[in-house]
Structures are given as C-alpha cells and as structure tokens.
Chain A
C-alpha cells in the first residue's frame, strides 16, 4: 500500500526528531526499517498513553482502533478526538524538546 507524500515526509522527520539521524545516514536498509518502526511505535504509544491518562480510556481505545485498523476517518467520526490528539502531540513535542 502506498504512503502519502505528507505522511512519508512526516515519518522521515519523526525519525530524525527522535534519533538525530537522517534516514539516509543509516546505511543498512533492514536497520533503517527497524528504526522507522521503533520510532513510529514510540510516538504512537506516547500519544495513546497520554490521551488515556488525560482524557480517559475510551478516547485511547478509539485511537488504538485507528492504529490497528488504519481507519482514516476517526477524526470525522469523533471530532473532539482531533483536538485531544493534537494536545497529546504537543505534549510529545514538548517532551522531545525537554530531552535536549
């Protein structure tokens, strides 16, 4: 399945944001894939954990469902979830910056 250009760019930047390395600086393709998955897992788990602790398990469950089934309409179905996720995302960014 194809990845959208925006998402592709986002994932590349996410990996660099977390690791400090650009993808092309990792020579092994296998290792590169591993790092992508690790970083995406880390990011997604952070968002879901944050939403669960801050807004409750129901919203976290909806995000988990989104993660498990790649449902692209979860924000349409639950509009408040978009704001909550954005809040979680900001917390994620804030936490990443705090690591520096």
Chain B
C-alpha cells in the first residue's frame, strides 16, 4: 500500500517539474547539478542516519512518503510566496532566542500571532524613511558581501600571499579599500594569535621535556652538588617549577643575576681605571705587577731549565726582582696602595668575574633547554 503511494507521489512530482528549469539547468549545468546532488546526497544521508538513531522508529517507506509530501509543500510555499522564499534565506541565528525558548513540541513555532514579523522590532522610521533605509542598508550589505567574496579570492592569490610579509605595503596600496585594510588587520591579528598559541604550545612541550630531564638528573648520585641555574640543583629547580607552575621565575632570576654580575664587573674595572690613573700609584703598581710577573716567570723557568748558563742568568733576574720588590715594600705608602689594589680590585674583580661566568653558564643552560626558538 505504502509502496504504491510512494510511486504515485514520485510520478506526480516528476510531472510537476518545471520543464523550463529542467531544460535550462539540465542542459546548461549538468555538472553543477550532479556535483550539488552528490553533495546534498551525502549531507542528507548523514543527517538521516543520525536522526534514525535518536528519533522515533520509522519505516523507510514512511520516511519517503513524508519527505515527498513535504517537498510538495515546501515547493508550493516558496513558489507562491516570494517573501517566504526571501526570508528563508536569512540567518536562523537571528531567531536563535525564539527557537531556544520554544516549546518541546515545536522548536520553530515561536509566534503564531504574527504573520510577517521578521523585520527588526526597533525599526520605527517613517514610511518614507523605512522605504529608503533598507535600500541603503541592502546596498551596503551587498557591497560588504561582495568585498568579502573579493577578499576571499584575493587571499588565494600569489600576490596577496607575497604581500602578507609586508602588510604596510598592502595598506598603502590605493586599490585596497579601507574595509579590506581592516580585514587584513583582523587577519594579521588572527595570525598573530595563532603564532602566539603555537609558541605557547611549543613552550609547554619544552617545559614538560625539561621537567623530565631535571627528574632524570635529580636521580643521579651526585646531583645535589651539581649546580645548574643560579646555584640551584636539579631537585631545587624542579621544586620551583612545581611551586610556581613554570620556569618564568627561574629565567627572570638568572637574568637579574646576569645583569648584576655584568654591572659589578664593569664597576670594578672603572674604579680600577680611576685608581690607576693616579700617576704615582700607577707607577708603583705597574712596577709591582711587572716585578711580580718577572719573579714568577724567573722562578718557573729556573726550576725547569737544564742549561747552566741560563740558570745563572735567571738566578740574577730573580734576585734583582726580589731586591726591587723589597725596595718597593719599604717605599712610601707602598703597603697601603698595594693593599687597596689587592683588596679592592684584584680580589673583587676575580670574584665578580666568577659570578658573571656562573650566570652566563646558567644562561647557556636556559638557552639550551628552554629557548622558545
């Protein structure tokens, strides 16, 4: 019975087909219809399959009958009423609130008391204005949609792709409208957001890998004596990461340490230069340094040389240096000046340079394991 009804309806629909459309579309656009047909076929199959799992059980024949009847109805409605056809092409999101608040039985049944109420409620313009306003609005909207379509094709062009590396150049191009420039800005913003997200994801992966690395190091027998960053061991670094949720504080601390160490070394060197600029002190210290070096080298060479003649010569060199140093020691304010030189510069500079090297080593470690590039 149902099969007969399906056949009958199919026959009826076939006869009802508009010959003009059939002719124009089938003849001129067979591929288009074929493509759209395949596309719509896949979509429909997918929706039907989903509904069949959640909807009430229904026979295939009944599905066909209801579908064919509804096709008839929908065709009649759209072809007899242009405004329905027109409004059927507007976005449903405009009615989202209405649909959401609708009853359980009919999600699209929102307001039965209105025949045509899709116009915005707040539109209270006079009839003349009302007639003029939508025209302008429609024109602007159509223009914008055209621009969007234009931009889509522009985005695919090699020229645009090349220009993406220089957005400023593209903005300056008079052929590109203000709207496109704005869209471009949005695109760049989105691209920038995407890049940031990618960087964040990369950093997160790196952090995980770093934690694993630190955990492995912490398990090593001598891990407590091995200082990795800012004098901290693998276990201590892990604790900071777990407490703060990241490596930012470790990186910031080391950056600060590095800056402080650089400033310290630089200050000591400037002060040393000033100290040495005093002619008398400079002469005294230079002599002291020169004699000390001569003495040290003489002693070293004396111990290693096998040559008797050279050995004798070095003996005299050492004695001479010692004698001169002794003379210096007895000289005016020598002890005081050398003391200042040793305490304030030699020792401090050595310590500061050691700190700088440690901070640089820490920075190298950070760059190796945590650099975002």
Known interface pairs A3-B98, A65-B142; A74-B74 also in contact (CB < 8 Å): no
CB distance A91 to B100 under 8 Å? no
Contacting residues, chain A, for B231 (C-beta < 8 A):
none
Partner of B138 from A28, A60, A74, A89 at Cβ < 8 Å: A74
Contacting residues, chain A, for B75 (C-beta < 8 A):
89-90, 93
CB distance B107 to A2 under 8 Å? no
CB distance B55 to A25 under 8 Å? yes
CB distance B107 to A71 under 8 Å? no
Contacting residues, chain B, for A91 (C-beta < 8 A):
21, 25, 33, 36
Known interface pairs A24-B105, A65-B138; A47-B89 also in contact (CB < 8 Å): yes
A8 proximal to B (CB < 8 A)? yes
The prevalent SS among residues of B at the interface is helix
Interface size on B, residues (CB 8 A): 89
CB distance A2 to B114 under 8 Å? yes
Question: Least Cβ distance of A69 to chain B in Å?
Answer: 5
Interface segment out of the listed B144-152, B170-178, B295-303: B144-152
What is the bound-complex CA distance between A17 and B114, given in angstroms? Answer: 25
B44 proximal to A (CB < 8 A)? yes
For chain B, residues 60 to 109, give those with C-beta under 8 angstroms from any C-beta of chain A.
62-64, 66-71, 73-75, 77-79, 81-92, 94-95, 97-100, 104-109
Contacting residues, chain B, for A22 (C-beta < 8 A):
66
Most buried by A among B91, B115, B137: B91
CB distance B118 to A35 under 8 Å? no
Partner of B148 from A20, A64, A87, A98 at Cβ < 8 Å: A64
Question: Least Cβ distance of B201 to chain A in Å?
Answer: 31
Q: Mark B40-57, 1 if CB is under 8 A from A, else 0.
A: 110110011011001110
CB distance A86 to B74 under 8 Å? no
Partner of A7 from B21, B51, B87, B119 at Cβ < 8 Å: B87
B135 proximal to A (CB < 8 A)? yes
CB distance B116 to A4 under 8 Å? yes
Known interface pairs A10-B77, A14-B74, A14-B88; A61-B44 also in contact (CB < 8 Å): no
Residues of B near any A CB (own CB < 8 A):
10, 13-14, 17-18, 21-22, 24-25, 28-29, 32-33, 36-37, 40-41, 43-44, 47-48, 50-51, 54-56, 58, 62-64, 66-71, 73-75, 77-79, 81-92, 94-95, 97-100, 104-112, 114-121, 134-135, 137-139, 141-142, 144-146, 148-149
Residues of A near any B CB (own CB < 8 A):
1-29, 31-33, 35-40, 42-44, 46-50, 53-54, 57-58, 60-78, 82, 85-87, 89-91, 93-100
